[in-house]
Amino acid sequence: MITLRKVTEENLREILELHVGAGQRGFVAPNDMSLMEACIALTHRGQAFPFGIYEGDTAVGFCQIGFGADDGWTDAPRVAEGSYNIWRFMIGEQYQGRGYGRQAMAEILRFIRTCPCGKSELCWLSYEPENARARALYASFGFRETGERDGNEVIAVLPLRRPEAQVRYAEDKDRDFWFSLDRHLPEDAFERKVRDGQGLVMEVAGEPAGILRWSLFWDTIPFCNLLYLKEGFRRRGYGRQLMDTWERKMAEAGYALVLTSTQSDEEAQHFYRALGYRDCGGFLLPFPGFEQSLEVILGKTVTQKSRTNR
């Protein structure tokens, strides 16, 4: 599990020992330079939050978060005023390729949304135009380039307030969007999902953003077969809202229990458990062509009374 820890005298050395590979050194400053810049910002009435990125008790990366523009920053971009900034972000060379960067970015944004320096509308960051991996990662969290530059680096911003989302039943007009996300539903089954009200579509500021489809397990228990959000809408609370809407609709229809499942080697299980789902079984498919990791079944009670009291 990835966590952020403040940089202190106790962990300073292990943070300083982290570095990126030779091919990435033009994209991110060394950690000692970042920490020196943090000290300078603090002496000029600025804000800086340096953190070690940890997997368990192992330091795997470093990040530095800022707010606003300090008195010594004479060429600060306009977006810096009153906004949070992901100033530095790196994963050590030996720890890359394990998904730590994505997990760490989620923790960084979670910290920023606690507004340690007061409320703000935006978070921003910048990166070298040639850094395709960073651009793709930030875009997947909803950062959008503005056309501005911080020196030679491209600026991208993320609104900290989520645009309003609406959830509705799937309609015939959603066919193309639906199958752009759902690679498992047979095409001739889509009409039945629309007819039976077993598909939901989420729209964010009028843009289709995600889908959820369900069926009846044992013909009696609602079972969420698929929850999928487009890139740019993930890890922003929309998945929780989509599940919450489905659970409410099931409770209103008189169901007291809902189920879902995920493979044991997928991260989705942690998402469902955070929503109150409990493990209630699993199965393996030891048949040629169908082999996969253990499928974990999760369940949750959703009586109308419990929904009202939430």
pLDDT tens for each residue of the chain, 310 residues long: 899 999 999 999 999 999 999 889 889 999 999 999 999 999 999 999 999 999 999 999 999 999 999 998 988 999 999 999 999 999 999 999 998 999 999 899 989 999 999 999 999 999 999 999 999 999 988 899 999 999 999 999 998 887 789 999 999 999 999 999 999 999 999 999 999 999 999 999 889 999 999 999 999 999 999 999 998 788 778 999 999 999 999 999 999 999 999 999 998 999 999 999 999 999 999 999 999 999 999 999 997 644 333 3
Q: Are residues 191 and 147 part of one domain?
A: no
Q: Which residues contact 294 (CB under 8 A, 6 or more apart)?
A: 263, 264, 282, 283, 284
Q: Are residues 137 and 59 part of one domain?
A: yes
Q: Are residues 181 and 60 part of one domain?
A: no
Amino acid 180: pLDDT:
95
The rounded distance, in Å, linking the Cα atoms of 70 and 37 is 11
Q: Are residues 150 and 237 part of one domain?
A: no
With residue 298 as reference, give the H or E element that holds it: strand 295-301
Domain end marker among 135, 159, 183: 159
The rounded distance, in Å, linking the Cα atoms of 76 and 144 is 19
Q: Are residues 195 and 113 part of one domain?
A: no
Domain end marker among 159, 175, 205: 159
Q: Are residues 155 and 17 part of one domain?
A: yes
In a 13 Å sphere around the CA of 10, the CA atoms on its Cβ side amount to 3
On whether the pTM is more than 0.75, the answer is no
Q: Are residues 179 and 155 part of one domain?
A: no
What is the extent of the structural domain holding 106? 2-159
- Considering only the C-alpha atoms of the chain, give the largest distance between any 2 of them, rounded to a whole number of Å: 67
Q: Are residues 81 and 36 part of one domain?
A: yes
